[in-house]
Amino acid sequence: MNPIVKAKGLRKAYGSFEALKGIDIEVGQGEVLCIIGPSGSGKSTFLRCINQLEVVDGGALWVCGELVGYRRVGNKLYEISEREIARQRLMTSMVFQGFNLFPHKTVVENIMEGPVQVLKTPCKQAEAAALELLARVGLAQKCNAYPIELSGGQQQRVAIARALAMKPAVMLFDEPTSALDPELVGEVLAVMRDVAAAGMTMIVVTHELGFAREVADRVIFMDRGEIIESGSPGEILKDPRHSRTREFISAVLK
């Protein structure tokens, strides 16, 4: 089976700073990949390249078998149009550290917005689907609330429901619990466990090593724009081969 996400020699730089230094990785259908590593290691940049929030500087990236951001004609690559980029971006949904909910819309309206405006789903159908997703994330009773009336954990669960409403092939999570108070982290991780159990392909940047140990099929450790090592949660989190991985895990667990 072809990988749902594939990166080959992926590079991204900001001026003289190399954020990604030739990333090679494949992610299979239904796989949960957790990415760990220190700040500035390129984890979030990699997700942003997949979601086309960043333009890659070298190498190639495929999502669902499509070359991201470019069209190949013979031996030449041509940048695709903004409209084509928007279409490709629908293959993924991203959940950020911040919740980015529309403050002037209710919870159910926030979830409906993408399907109605982008996917052209009829309003009644979009509303029914949104209510189902709210029930799935345990917030059916909050459907008519506004974001300001919700806790941070509840807002992030709404953000996950909103991302799921777009029916992506891949869910990208960029440290979704890092902005939350410690007592609210568990409720968001529980929803993510449910999403993973349903078979969704997920790439998760996280410092929650317990979640990675429990849910991930594979864990990669990144540092300074490179993948240092990759393996099962048991291999990477319990018995890492590389000293940099061991140092990072020890620091996180202190």
* Confidence check: pLDDT of 19 > 70: yes
pLDDT score, position 11: 95
pLDDT of residue 1: 64
Per the listing, tokens 């529980």 go with: 190
pLDDT of residue 73: 83
* CA pair distance 131, 98, nearest whole angstrom: 22
Q: If you average pLDDT over every residue of the chain, what do you get?
A: 94
99 pLDDT more than 90: no
Among 3-7, 31-35, 82-86, which is the least confidently predicted range?
82-86
What pLDDT shows up at residue 70?
A: 86
